[in-house]
Amino acid sequence: RERAREILETVKERDETRRGVEAMELLDAYGIETPQGEIVDDPADALSVAEEIDGNVVMKIVSPDILHKSDIGGVKVGVSNEDVYDAYEDLITRAKNYQPDANILGVQVQEMVNLDDGVETIVGMNRDPQFGPLMMFGLGGIFVEILEDTTFRVAPVAESEAEAMTKEIDAAPMLRGARGADPVDIGGITETIQRLSQLVTDFPAILELDINPLVALPDGVQAVDVRLTVD
Ligand code: ADP
Ligand code: MG
């Protein structure tokens, strides 16, 4: 909790800067697992980070002006070490084409999560003027707005309620092993809902926080993308 407080103070001081990283660190401080990775601002550093990670990596543009990275081709999945330089330049070019004066903070190089065995979910919080901190759980990924398969509770959320949330969405059978797939770690999801609910309860300065996707795997969960808005 002390670490989370320090991280949040840094976020405020730095304004928009590197907010993605701080959001990841915040989750880490509350015991929510995130993929290995770093944000860098030149291609040589991108390669060093990629070399430290097993297998191919994911590379993403980091800019406070680009909210939906994949919409502008700002997420590259399965990048081999040989392709890191090209991928880096291409991400920067795409960002500049999208918005010439975009504030580009760098590129995030991240461990790849195996989506074949996983389900992309979303766990988020929005402060509602009437109800307070509203926790959301649902089917995640880049089509979340279209599918709108979500359910809500006011934070703090008890374990039984968090578990109920995982049963309420239309896609619930997908989590429990539809069509011969392995069931995902439901306990990991409910724990994440509770931990996030605790975090936003402890820190009213967090106005909005979305983990999308929280990839639910048979043996755990990984917070792959986080969006944070602070007061
Ligand atoms: P945005 O939501 O801004 O478009 P994300 O970081 O959520 O950017 O990436 C978009 C999609 O790319 C994810 O929903 C997921 O399908 C895929 N993706 C992102 N990061 C990873 C990763 N580390 N491993 C595997 N797939 C990923
Ligand atoms: Mg996302």
All domains of the chain in start order, with CATH: 37-111 (3.30.1490.20), 115-230 (3.30.470.20)
Say what the pLDDT of residue 92 is. 98
17 token code pair: 């800067």
**pLDDT at position 9, please?**
82
Best residue among 36, 38, 70 to mutate for probing ligand 1, ranked by most atoms within 8 Å of CB: 70
Indicate the average pLDDT of the chain. 93
User: Other C-beta atoms within 10 Å of 12: how many?
Assistant: 11
Indicate if the pLDDT at residue 15 is higher than 60.
no
Give Cβ neighbours of residue 66 (< 8 Å, ≥ 6 apart): 72, 74, 95, 98, 99, 102
Residue 1 is predicted with a pLDDT of 83
> Given this model, what pLDDT does residue 16 score?
55
- Give the mean model confidence (pLDDT) for residues 105-121: 94
Q: Is the pLDDT of residue 35 over 50?
A: yes
Residue 72, number of CB atoms within 10 A of its CB: 18
Calculate how far, in angstroms, residue 37's C-alpha sits from the geometric centre of ligand 1: 13
Q: Which residues does residue 215 pair with via DSSP β-bridges, in sequence order?
A: 120, 222
Is 201 in contact with 133 (CB distance < 8 Å)? yes
What is the mean pLDDT of the segment spanning 182-198? Answer: 97
Asked which of 63-72, 82-91, 154-163 is least confident by mean pLDDT, the reply is 63-72
Residue 158 CB contacts under 8 Å (≥ 6 apart), including other chains: 194
- The set of protein residues with a Cβ atom below 6 angstroms from ligand 1 is 35, 58, 60, 68-70, 75, 77, 110, 112-113, 115, 120, 141-142, 212-213, 224-225
pLDDT of 189 strictly over 90: yes
H helix or E strand, kind and range, residue 196: helix 186-202
Q: Which atom of ligand 1 is nearest to the CA of 74?
A: 4
**Per-residue confidence (pLDDT) for residue 112, from 0 to 100:** 97
Q: How far apart are the first and last CA of the chain?
A: 18
Strands (E), 27-131: 37-40, 57-62, 75-79, 106-111, 119-128
